[in-house]
A = this chain, B = another copy of it.
C-alpha cells in the first residue's frame, strides 16, 4: 500500500466521468474533450483536465482524450478491472428493479445471488436467478467470495440483515433502506436516499428560478 489515497471528492468525480465515458463508448464514440465531459457531468472543464492530469491520463491537444484508453486507466485506478460479485438482499419491487438494472453489468457489477426471508418469494425466479433463503446467506457469500451487498429489505429488517452480512464477511453495503445501519470498522456503507436529494433540490427550487443541474 504505497499508493496515495485520493480524497473522496476526486474519486466521486472520477466515478462520474467513468460512468459517462462508458455511455459514450457504447454508442461508438472514440474521443471526447474536457469541455464535452464538463457539459455532461456539470464539472468545470479546467477541473476535469486537472483531475485527469493528476492520474497521469493524457490526451491529445486539439483533439481530446481517447475514450477507451481513459476507461481502462480509470478502471485500474478504481480497481474495477475484474467482475465484482454482488449479493442482493430483498426480492421485492426494489430488488427486482435492481436485478434488471442493466448499467450494472456494463461496469462489471454482477448480481450473483438474491436472498429473501419470505417463503412466498424463496424459490421464485427473479431475472435469471432463483431467490434463496436468507439463511443460506453466509454459505453462499463464502462460497462465491462475495464482498459487496445491496440491501433492499424493509427498514425493520435492515440492521438484522446487516449483521448477517457483516458476519458473512461482506465489506461493502449499498443501503437502499431509509435507516442508518451500524457496521464495524472496516465495512463501508453507502446510503442512497431520495429524501435527502429531494430536500437538497427543493432548496434551490425555492431560492432560484435559475437552472441548476447536479450530476450526483
Q: Give A contacts to B, CB under 8 Å.
A: 1, 3, 5, 8, 11-12, 14-16, 18-20, 23, 40, 77-80, 84, 92-94, 96-98, 100-104, 107, 109, 147-148, 150, 155, 171-172, 174, 178-180, 183-216
Provide the residues of chain B in CB contact with A23, threshold 8 Å.
179-180
Alpha-carbon distance between A14 and B80 when the two chains are bound, in angstroms: 33
13 A-B Cβ contacts within 8 A?
A1-B208, A5-B208, A11-B203, A15-B199, A23-B180, A77-B203, A80-B202, A103-B193, A107-B199, A109-B195, A174-B201, A187-B211, A188-B204
Alpha-carbon distance between A116 and B94 when the two chains are bound, in angstroms: 17
Q: Are B207 and A3 in contact (CB under 8 A)?
A: yes
Copies in the complex: 2
Q: Are A5 and B207 in contact (CB under 8 A)?
A: yes
Provide the residues of chain B in CB contact with A79, threshold 8 Å.
202-203, 205-207
Alpha-carbon distance between A149 and B136 when the two chains are bound, in angstroms: 39
Provide the residues of chain B in CB contact with A184, threshold 8 Å.
211
Q: Are B207 and A188 in contact (CB under 8 A)?
A: no
Q: How distant is A200 from chain B, measured CB to nearest CB, in Å?
A: 5
